[in-house]
Amino acid sequence: MGRDHPSTPATAGWREWVALPALGVPHVKAKLDTGARTSALHAFDLEELTRDGADWVRFAVHPWQRSKADEAVVECPVHDRRRVRSSTGHEQERIVIRTAIALLGRSVTTEVTLTRRDEMGFRMLVGREALRQGFLVDSAASYLGGRPPRGVRLRNRGRSGA
Distance of CA 160 to the CA centre of its chain: 23
Q: What is the mean pLDDT of residues 57-81?
A: 86
What per-residue confidence (pLDDT) applies to 120?
Answer: 66
Task: Using pLDDT thresholds of 50, 70 and 90, give the confidence band for residue 88.
Answer: confident
**Lowest-pLDDT range of 5-9, 29-33, 79-83:** 5-9
Helix (H), strand (E) at residue 45: strand 44-51
Residue 66: the pLDDT is: 65
Q: Is 23 helix (H, G, I), strand (E, B) or coil?
A: helix
What pTM did the predictor assign? Answer: 0.85
The pLDDT tens digits for 114-151 are: 987 666 678 899 999 999 999 999 999 999 998 887 77
Check residue 91 and give its pLDDT.
Answer: 86
User: Is 1 a residue whose pLDDT tops 50?
Assistant: no
